């Protein structure tokens, strides 16, 4: 019984080890082990015992036939990003005064390393354009974080600002206004519902100044920005209000009918989406106050009431009192 228990323990022990540590088969003692990545197993060639299960396939999914192809297809290292002024391709000198392979450095070497780090910081941002870009990209990151925007919005806004600085459109304009306009333009391009009021509040800037910079960049860069859709705002308001999917569907349906009847022309997308969401909550008996919806939509209660009355009258919707 003891021998059988020891044999069982010996068989189970290699399974807890990593595939790199296993050298021999625990069953027959053979050293010829084969990795079967299709089955995710390490198998003994001599007796067929499965030594390790569920191994990770660390091989690349692509094939390369020469060094040039391998260099092009390899994806190691940090990815290139437009959110850093040097696109994340530069290197830095470690702040620790300990070069690789040495335990300590002398005082003269420590001073030399300090000077090298100082000059490297200066070289990374060498001219006025680089300094402007570094400051602007930092502002874009802060504003994106304040608005809880996804990564692709920040990347798109960084590309827009780079195009503007390349065309020399920033000269004579505030960096803060241009970065806020780039964020708004990026949101419009990627169909992420954010209003100028929200961006102005997050950036503590004047809404008119942001709008002026936005229109200027739109005209000078020749970019096409799709019009804002009300349904994106309705979906966002529904998520923030934590209402049911049925209420969200009703709100979007109301907006689609209103758009078909051209009731949305000349109306702010946030205001009419907030009114349709309010109607949907009333119809599904998930009543939310106009103040709650107004705070989330960043519009006034008067706007919601006006759009609410228009939709009820034009669409002939009857709501319970």
Two structure tokens written together for 13: 């022990």
Question: What pLDDT, on a 0 to 100 scale, did the predictor assign at position 36?
Answer: 78
Question: What pLDDT, on a 0 to 100 scale, did the predictor assign at position 21?
Answer: 63
Residues of the chain with pLDDT under 70: 1-21, 57, 59-62, 67-68, 70-79, 90, 93-103, 124, 321
Question: What pLDDT, on a 0 to 100 scale, did the predictor assign at position 20?
Answer: 52
Question: What pLDDT, on a 0 to 100 scale, did the predictor assign at position 14?
Answer: 40
Return residue ranges of the chain for CATH 2.20.25.10.
2-53
Record the pTM.
0.63
Fold of 2-53: N-terminal domain of TfIIb (2.20.25)
Give 68-94 pLDDT, tens digit per residue. Answer: 676 666 666 566 788 887 777 767 766
Question: What pLDDT, on a 0 to 100 scale, did the predictor assign at position 293?
Answer: 92
Question: What pLDDT, on a 0 to 100 scale, did the predictor assign at position 53?
Answer: 80
Two structure tokens written together for 186: 């990026």
Question: What pLDDT, on a 0 to 100 scale, did the predictor assign at position 103?
Answer: 63
Return residue ranges of the chain for CATH 1.10.472.10.
128-221, 230-315
Question: What pLDDT, on a 0 to 100 scale, did the predictor assign at position 98?
Answer: 61
| Own/partner pairs, 117-126, CB within 8 angstroms, 24+ separation | 117/92, 117/93, 120/92, 120/93, 124/85, 124/86, 124/90, 125/85
Residue 283 CA to its chain's centroid (Å): 35
CATH top-level class of 230-315: mainly alpha
Question: What pLDDT, on a 0 to 100 scale, did the predictor assign at position 213?
Answer: 93
- Distance separating alpha carbons of residues 144 and 312, to the nearest angstrom: 37
Across the strands, what pairs with 42? Answer: 35, 52
- Smallest CA-to-CA distance from 189 within 170, 209, 148, 217 is with 217
Helix (H, G, I), strand (E, B) or coil at 106: coil
CATH top-level class of 128-221: mainly alpha
Two structure tokens written together for 260: 């078909």
Relative orientation angle of helices 230-241 and 245-260, to the nearest 10 degrees:
160
């Amino acid at each position: 019984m003891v021998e059988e228990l020891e044999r069982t323990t010996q068989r189970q022990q290699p399974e807890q080890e990593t595939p790199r540590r296993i050298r021999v088969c625990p069953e027959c003692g053979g050293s010829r082990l084969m990795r079967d990545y299709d089955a995710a197993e390490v198998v003994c060639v001599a007796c067929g015992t499965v030594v390790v299960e569920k191994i990770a396939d660390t091989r690349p999914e692509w094939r390369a036939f020469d060094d040039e192809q391998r260099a092009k297809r390899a994806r190691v290292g940090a990815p290139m990003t437009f959110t850093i002024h040097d696109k994340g391709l530069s290197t830095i000198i470690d702040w620790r005064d300990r070069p690789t392979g040495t335990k300590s450095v002398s005082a003269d070497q420590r001073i030399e390393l300090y000077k090298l780090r100082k000059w490297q910081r200066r070289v990374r941002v060498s001219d006025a354009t680089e300094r402007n870009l570094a400051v602007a990209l930092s502002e874009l990151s802060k504003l994106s974080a304040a608005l809880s925007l996804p990564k692709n919005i920040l990347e798109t806004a960084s590309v827009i600002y780079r195009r503007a600085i390349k065309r020399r459109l920033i000269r004579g304009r505030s960096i803060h206004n241009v970065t806020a306009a780039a964020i708004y333009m990026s949101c419009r391009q990627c169909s992420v519902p954010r209003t100028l009021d929200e961006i102005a509040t997050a950036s503590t800037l004047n809404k008119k100044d942001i709008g002026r910079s936005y229109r200027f960049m739109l005209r000078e860069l020749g970019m096409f920005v799709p019009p804002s859709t009300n349904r994106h705002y309705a979906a966002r308001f529904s998520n923030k209000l934590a209402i049911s999917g049925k209420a969200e569907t009703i709100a979007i349906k109301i907006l689609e009918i209103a758009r078909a009847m051209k009731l949305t022309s000349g109306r702010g997308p946030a205001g009419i989406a907030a009114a349709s969401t309010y109607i949907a909550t009333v119809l599904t008996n998930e009543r939310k106050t106009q103040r709650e919806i107004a705070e989330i939509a960043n519009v006034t209660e008067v706007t919601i009431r006006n759009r609410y009355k228009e939709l009820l009258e034009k669409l002939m919707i009857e709501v319970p009192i």
